[in-house]
Amino acid sequence: MFEVIFLQFLNGLDKGAAYALIALGLTLVFGTLGVVNFAHGALFMLGAFCAVMFRQFLTLETVTIDPTQTSPWGAPLEIRTPLVQAWFGDFGAVLVNYSVPFSILITIPIMLLLGIALERGIIKHFYKRPHAEQILVTFGLAIVAQEVIKSIFGPNPIPQPMPTDLRGAADIGSWIGFQANVITYPLWRLIYFLFSAIVIGGVFAFLQFTTFGMVVRAGMADRETVGLLGINIDRRFTIMFGLAAVVAGMAGVMYTPLLPPNYHLGMDFLVLSFVVVVVGGMGSLPGAVAAGFLLGILQSFASMTQVKDVIPGIDQIIIYLVAVVILLVRPRGLMGRRGVMES
């Protein structure tokens, strides 16, 4: 029984890391800019499609038709040669194999520019407008983003294989003194967990230990005073929006081997990420992280048959149920501040 619970807990941490990572960017934007960004899920999705695009670019092929051979339906056989392999040989093959992690390199600048453009182009006009209108405009943007992706990449999920060396499961149990093959967990999910931890830690360190972060935190607490000190807080907030977009995008990239991305991915994660942020308390970074892990672990345990036998259907509603209970018992979420988002 212990190994069952341990595995479920591990799975909860793994899910929670994904939730926390998505919620982090959302709450970052809310905390700094005061904007409720319903397009955050779309940014996650766009990040995932950066990986798709990168891989499609790497696997561009030349097609030659061999008239001597025929395909099973009688047409001449097409022979495809990937260009990267033709040009770079083995290095090209490695590049294709590791396309997902490598695509982070292009995702960072793309998402940063996209985030900044979005903030300068549209979001900044909404700082003074009611939260309902912020929700609506970003919701509209999310629809536009997903439809553009759909018309380019089609409606179907596009699988992104993980590097061959990182497939399969790691025998964690044997590392900590269990029997072999009792506690195993997919390697890539462990990598995702580590990746999330590093990114979350990085964001916290950035805000805590750099001058930039200090100014931003001061701006979060009291925007006007910081402005009076002659500091251009607006530019820093723009960069924060770009940073949130980058975090969402990277989360999206690393998630692709676990779930083949399609255009709808953003909307699927949007509701979830909002629930996480609200449970954590709007605008609270530690709250979002804690809520992410909490919900991940609860969802994992709620999916066990032993639990479902007692409360049927609990796995389908646990996340929402927790959100409702927390909001009713602790009005501002786990770590929210007073007066946020209530007018």
Partner 1 sequence: MTILKSGMSRRRLLQTGMAGIIGSGVAPMMFTKGAWAQEFCNNPTGDTVTLGLNLPLTGAYAEEGADEQKAYELAIAHLNGEGDGGLLNVLTPSALTGNGILGKKVGYVTSDSQTKSDVARAGATRMIERDGAIMITGGSSSGEAVAVQGLCQEMGVIFMAGLTHSNDTTGKDKRRYGFRHFFNAYQSGTALGPVLSNAYGNDRRAYHLTADYTWGWTQEESIKNTTEALGWDTVEAVRTPLGAGDFSQFLTPVLNSGADVLILNHYGNDMVNSLTQAVQFGMRDRQANGKDFQIVVPLFSELMAKGAGENIKGIFGTSNWHWNLQDPGSIAFTKSFGAAYGSPPSQAAHTCYVQTLLYADAVERAGTFYPPEVIKALEGHEFDGMGNGRTLYRAEDHQCMKSVLVVQGNDAPTSEYDVLNVVEEVDAATVDYDPSIFGGELGPAEPAPVCA
Partner 2 sequence: MANFMSRNDLLLLLGFTVVVLTMPIWLTPFGAGYPDLLQRFMIFGIFAVGFNILFGLTGYLSFGHAAFFGVGSYAAVWSFKLLTLDAIPAMIFAVLISGLFALIIGFLSLRRSGIYFSILTLAFAQMSYNLAYSVLTPITNGETGLQLTLNDPRVLDAAIGQTFVGQPVPTLLGQQLGGYAGFYFCAGFLILSFFFAQRVAGSPFGMMLKSIKSNQTRMQFTGFNTRPYALSAFVISGMYAGLAGALLAVTDPLAGAERMQWTASGEVVLMTILGGVGTLVGPVIGAWIIKYFENILSALNDNILTQFWSFLPEGLAEIVVKVTSKFVGDGWHLTLGLVFVIIVIFLPGGIMEGVRRMAATARRSDPPGAKSHQHQPAE
Distance of closest approach, residue 273 Cβ to partner 2, in angstroms? 11
Q: Are 149 and 49 in contact (CB under 8 A)?
A: yes
Region 216-275 residues binding partner 1, contact defined as CB under 8 A: 258-260, 262, 268
- In the numeric block, which tokens belong to residue 155? 């409606």
Number of residues that bind partner 2 (CB under 8 A): 42
Name which of 101 and 161 has its Cβ closer to partner 1. 161
Q: Which of 110, 248, 282, 302 binds partner 2 (CB under 8 A)?
A: 282
Number of H helices, E strands in the chain: 15, 4
In the bound state with partner 1, the residue whose beta carbon lies nearer, of 41 and 281, is 41
Number of residues that bind partner 1 (CB under 8 A): 43
Nearest to partner 1 of 10, 291 (CB atom): 10
* Binding residue (CB under 8 A) for partner 1 from 148, 172, 231, 304: 304
Asked if 139 contacts 36 with a C-beta cutoff of 8 angstroms, the reply is: no
168 forms part of the interface with partner 1 (CB under 8 A): yes
* Phi, psi for 122 (deg, rounded to 5): -125, -55
> Exposure pattern of 132-153 as b/e (b: 16+ CB <10 Å)?
eebbebbbebbeebbeebeeeb
CA distances for 107 relative to 97, 159, 276, angstroms: 17, 18, 24
Residue range at the interface with partner 2 (CB under 8 A); choices 73-81, 121-129, 231-239, 244-252: 121-129
Q: Which two tokens stand for residue 68?
A: 């001597």
Q: Does residue 337 sit in helix, strand or coil? A: coil
Beta strand ranges found along the chain (DSSP E):
61-70, 76-82, 169-170, 185-186
Binding residues (CB under 8 A) for partner 1: these are: 3-4, 7-8, 10-12, 14-15, 71-75, 150, 155-157, 159, 161, 167-169, 181-182, 184-186, 188-189, 258-260, 262, 268, 299-300, 303-305, 308, 315-316
Which chain residues interact with partner 2 by CB under 8 A? 36, 122, 125, 129, 131-133, 135-137, 139-144, 147-148, 150-151, 155, 267, 271, 274-275, 278, 282, 312-313, 316-317, 320-321, 323-324, 327-328, 331-332, 341-343
